[in-house]
Amino acid sequence: MKKQTLAIHTTFQSPDAYSALSMPVYHTAAYEFDDAAVMADAFCGRIDAPDYSRVMNPTVTYFENKVRSLTGAHDVIAFTSGMAAISNTLLAVAAAGKNIVTSRHMFGNTYLLINNTLARFGVEARLCDLTDIAAVEKLVDDDTCCIYLETITNPQMEVADLGALSAICRRHGIPLIADTTMIPFTHVDSRALGIDIEVVSSTKYISGGATSLGGLIIDYGTCQGFSEQIRKEMLLNLGAYMTPHVAYMQTIGLETLDARYRIQSSNALDLARRLRSLPAISKVTYLGLEDNPYHDLARRQFGPTAGAMLTIDLADKDACYSFINNLKLIRRATNLFDNKSLAIHPASTIFGPLTQQERDSMDILDTTIRLSIGLEDVDDLFKDIAQALGSEK
């Protein structure tokens, strides 16, 4: 069977007492045992039975197994948010005296995690242009614990050559860790691209219409003992495992992910093309447009679809604020890949707490609006954008 079919029909770990067709939500903190020896076996990992929901829960395991069917991964671990998946991953591979080679182009909180939080514990952030392979090569040394990147950076939409970065990682025996939130794993084969550990904000495409926060670590088994360390050390000591109700909602989201993604990415491409006809927009950035500088590389790595995020540039910050204020259909909200289309001014919101100098170095411009394209009819979206631009004059 194909992956999508397997994902839909993933069976429960244990038969349900009532033959429920959907995975029941096991809202329990703890689990009872028949005797002391079985209890000891469960706690020491000699048998695969849940003992406490900080570490394992059948509803969450079911969600993880569905993602495993779709990715063919060695193991999948679900967290309370994308940031929890990212922070757990980096805390597992890093240590005082180690360094992380990464880029200035990334999600604001990941940037702050690496540059502020981890820096306090003696982990060095080595920032470079990951599209310049020679520059990356120079920065990696014996103390580098990983190369970390976003496959499509949010919101700059930069794409690096994953094969070339993976080759550097192989030579140094370190993992290539990638945040793949921008294009879901139903459409990209991360393992074939050389990614060792994939992290995802499942809040976005997977949750199924912005129902809940969640994050995933997807371990392709190429980095010895990684997921075992996450389960045996990080989940126990840090405690950010996904909750059963969220796993239930995201399981339902996962079942329609492929269908939603196809419509949203095709809407985004259609809209990106049409937005170029509006004179108030100085630039439309979308990887699906043939003249985007990363178009060919993105196509080679991620296939024909380019996701549902695009950015437009207007004259200045005032024009951006007025555009956002004039929107009637598209919602003024953060988040990505909701069923509804969303608009935000990243410089003053997600990147607002950063200094102007930091924003400049990250190429976060005052002129940029980020749009997440939903499931609406493209005609209506185009009309809303056109009217919101028109009334600003």
Ligand X SMILES: *Cc1c(COP(=O)(O)O)cnc(C)c1O
Query: Which parts of this chain interact with ligand X (CB under 6 A)?
Result: 81-83, 107, 110, 150, 154, 179, 181, 201, 203-204, 213, 215, 336
Q: How far is the CB of 205 from ligand X (least distance, A)?
A: 10
- Our CB check for ligand X shows the closer of 215 and 288 to be 215
Q: Which residues of 168-190 are buried (b: 16+ CB within 10 A; e: fewer)?
A: bbeebebbbbbbbbbbbbbbbeb
Closest of 249, 262, 212, 254 to residue 84, by C-alpha: 212
Alpha carbon distance 391, 375 (integer Å) = 25
Q: Give whichever of 58 and 155 is closer to ligand X, judged by the CB atom.
A: 155
CB of 12 to ligand X, least distance (A): 26
Closer of 213 and 218 to ligand X (Cβ): 213
Phi and psi dihedrals of 165, rounded to 5? -70, -40
**Which residue number is nearest to ligand X in terms of Cβ?**
82
Q: For ligand X, give the closer residue by CB, 103 or 203.
A: 203
Q: Which residue, chain included where needed, has tokens 């994939």?
A: 198
- Tell me how far apart the alpha carbons of residues 147 and 154 are, in angstroms, rounded to a whole number: 17
Q: For residue 115, what are its two tokens? A: 């540059």
Which C-beta is closer to ligand X: that of 346 or that of 384?
346
Strand locations in 314-353 (E) = 331-332, 342-344
Which burial class, exposed, middle or buried, applies to 194 when counting CB atoms under 10 A from its CB (0-12, 13-18, 19+)?
A: buried
The nearest distance, CB 158 to ligand X, in angstroms, is: 12
Alpha helices in the chain (DSSP H): 3-8, 36-43, 58-71, 82-93, 108-112, 118-120, 133-139, 162-172, 226-229, 235-238, 244-275, 295-302, 317-326, 356-361, 378-390
Give the number of other Cβ atoms within 10 Å of residue 137's Cβ. 16
Cβ 246 vs Cβ 357: under 8 Å: no
Question: Taking Cα atoms as reference points, which of 327, 312, 307 lies closest to residue 267?
Answer: 307
Instruction: Provide the minimum distance between the beta carbon of 171 and ligand X in the complex, in angstroms, as a whole number.
Output: 27
State which residue, 51 or 63, has the beta carbon closest to ligand X.
Answer: 63
- Residue closer to ligand X by CB (options 344, 389) is 344
Q: 77 or 388, CB closer to ligand X?
A: 77
Instruction: State in angstroms the smallest separation of the CB of 16 from ligand X.
Output: 29
For residue 88, the minimal CB distance to ligand X (Å) is 12
Give helix then strand counts, H and E, for the chain: 15, 12
Work out how close the CB of 30 gets to ligand X at its nearest, in angstroms, rounded to a whole number: 27
What is the closest distance, in whole angstroms, from the C-beta atom of residue 49 to ligand X in the complex?
29
- Relative to beta strand 331-332, strand 309-313 is unpaired
Q: Write the CA distances from 128 to 89, 102, 266, integer angstroms.
A: 21, 6, 33
Angle formed by the axes of helices 378-390 and 317-326, to 10°?
130
